[in-house]
Chains A and B, each alone.
Chain A
Amino acid sequence: MMERRSQDRRSGSTRHPVIQATGVFLAGLLAVSCLLVVTNPVIFALCVSLALFAVLSPAVDYFRQRGWARAKAAGSVMGLATVGLILVAALLYPLLMTQVQQISEQVTHLDQPLLVVLTNTNTWLVEHDISSINAPELTDSILKQVGEQSSSTLQSMSAFFGSIATSLVLIPLVTFFLLCDFITLRNQAMQLLPNRHFELGWLIYIRAASQLQSYIRGISIQAMIMATVTTIGFWLVGVDYAPLLGIMVGLLNMIPFFGISLAKIPPVVAVLISSEPSGLNIILALAVVMVAQAVDNGFVIPRIVAKAASLHPLTVMLGVMLGGYYFGFFGLILTVPVLFSFKVIFSELVRGLRHQHLNVRMDAQRQRKKQ
C-alpha cells in the first residue's frame, strides 16, 4: 500500500486529472503573467514581432525549400518586407496625414451639416406623412455619442500607431532573430518539461501554435482584404478620404462582434463633414461597408478565420468586452487568440493527464495482482 502511494505520488496522480490540469494551467498562467510584467516595456514590440513572425515564416520556409540557409532566407524576407512597408508608408503617409488634419478641422463643424441632413430628413418624413423627428435634439444626441466613441477609438488607435513608431528599431530586430532562431529557442524551452509530460507538452504546443499561427495569418489577410475592398468602394461612390477610411474599417473589423458596428462610424462621419452631406451619400457609404462585410462573412471568414477560432459567441463577446476594458485596442484584438489558445491548452492538458491518471491506476492494479 505504501509502495503504491509512493508510486502515485511520484507520478503526481493522487489528484483528479481536472484538478491537476487546473493547477498546471494556473501555474503556467502565473509564470506567463510574471513574464508579461517583466517584459512590459517591450511587450508591444514582442507582440508585433510574433505576429510578423507568424505571417513571414511561410515565406522563409519557401526560400529554405530552395536550399537557402536560414539566416539568408530570414534576412531576405525581412529585407523584402521592410522595403515593401517603407514604400507603402512613403506613398500613404503624406496622404493619410493630410486627410487626418482635414478631418480634425472639419469634425469641429460637424453639428451644422448633421442638423441640415436631419432637418431635410424630417421635412421629407412629414411631407410623406410617415413620422417626424426633433432634428436639433437628435443632432445633439448623435454628436455626443459619436464624440465619445470616436475620441476613445482615436485615442486607442493613436496609441497603437505611437507604439509602432517607438518600436521601429526593436520590431525588425526581434522578428529577424525569431525567423532565424525560433526553433532553437523553442526546443530549449521545451527541454524544461519533466519526462512524464514531455510528449504531452509537445502535442499541446503543436496544436495551440498551429491554431494561433493560422488565426493571426487569417485576421491579417482579412484586415488587408477589408481595407482594399472598402477603399475601392469608397472611391467608386465618391466618399472623401477613401484610403484612410479603408484602413480604419480594416483595423476596426479585426475586433470581433463590436468591430462590425464600429466600422460604420468613420465613413458616416466622413460624409457628414464633406462639402455635400446627404442621406444618399450616407446610405452609399454604409452600403460599401456592408458589401465588404458580406464579402468578409461569406468568403474570407469561413475560409481563413473560422477554422482557427472555435469558441462560443457568448465567451467571445464577454471576453472582448473585458479585454477592451482592461487592455484597450490591443485587448479587443488579442482576446480571441488568447481565449482559444487557453481553450486548446487546457482541454489537451485535461485529456493527456486523464490518460496518464488511467495508466498509473492500471499499472498499480497490475502490481497488486503480481503481489
Chain B
Amino acid sequence: MSITAIKGRAFGDRVLLALVILLSIVMIAPVLWVIGLSLKENAELMANPNSVFHAPYTLRNYVNTVGTSSVFLWVGNSIIVSGGLTLGTLILSSLAGYGFARLNFPGRDVLFVIVLFGLAVPEQAVLVARHQIFSILKFHNTYPGLILPGLSASFGVFLMTQYFKAIPKELDEAAMLDNASRFRIFWKVLLPLTVPAQATLGIFTFLGAWNDYLWPLISATNKEMYTLTVGMASTQTNFAQSEGIGFLMAQAVFAGAPILIVYLFFQKYIVTAVSGAAVR
C-alpha cells in the first residue's frame, strides 16, 4: 500500500473521529448543563446563565427535592406498578410459553396466531375503550388500574414460547412419559433453564413500565397515585414561573440518576432486552 493511501486513511480516520466526538458532545452537553443548573441558586441563574460555570454551587435544590414528599410517594408508586407488572408478566408469560411450546390442546395453533396478532396492536388503538371499561369497573387511580393493562401484552408470551421451544425435548419427554404432572415438569425441569429469558423479559418489562407515560397520565388523575413519570411531568407544566429552574433540574437528576446507574450495571442485559424486543 502506498504512503499516500496510508496518509489518506489516517486523514479519513480523523474526520470520522471528529464526527463521533462531536456527536458524543451533543449527547453529554445537555446532561452536564442540567446538572450544572441543578447546583445553582435560582436568582443567580436568572441574572446570568453563564454563572453555571463558576462557584458558588449549592445543594439546596436537592434538599428541596428530597423535602418534597411527593417525589418519594411517586417513586414508591412506580416501584409498585413496575414491580407488580414485571412479576405478573413473568408468571403469565412463562406458563403460557410452556403451554404453547410443549403442550397440545384443541385450537392451540389458532390461538397462538391470535396472540401473535396482539403484537401488532398499538396501545393507542385500545386506549379509549380500556379507559371506559376501567371507568365502569372503578379501576382508575388504583394500582390494579395501572398494572393490569400491561398484562395483556403478547410480547412476553411470544418470547417465552420461542425459548421453551429451543430447549431440547428429550429433557422433559421422559418425565412426560412417566406421567409426571405437567406443572411439576414445568416447575422443576424447564423453568430453571429459562432464567436468561426471564432476566431479559423482566428488565424489558420493568423499564417499559417505569418509563410509561400515556396510560398512567390518563388513568392516574389523583396526585396520590401519580407514577414518577407523570408526577415529574405535572411539576414542569409552568416551567419558568414555578419553583425555579434549578429545582426542576435537581428533580430531573434525582429521577434520572438511579435508572442510569442501573443501566451501567446491567448494560448487557438491557441492550439485549431492548433490541431483542424491537426485532421480535
Asked if chains A and B come from one complex, the reply is: no
Residues on A facing B (Cβ under 8 Å) = none
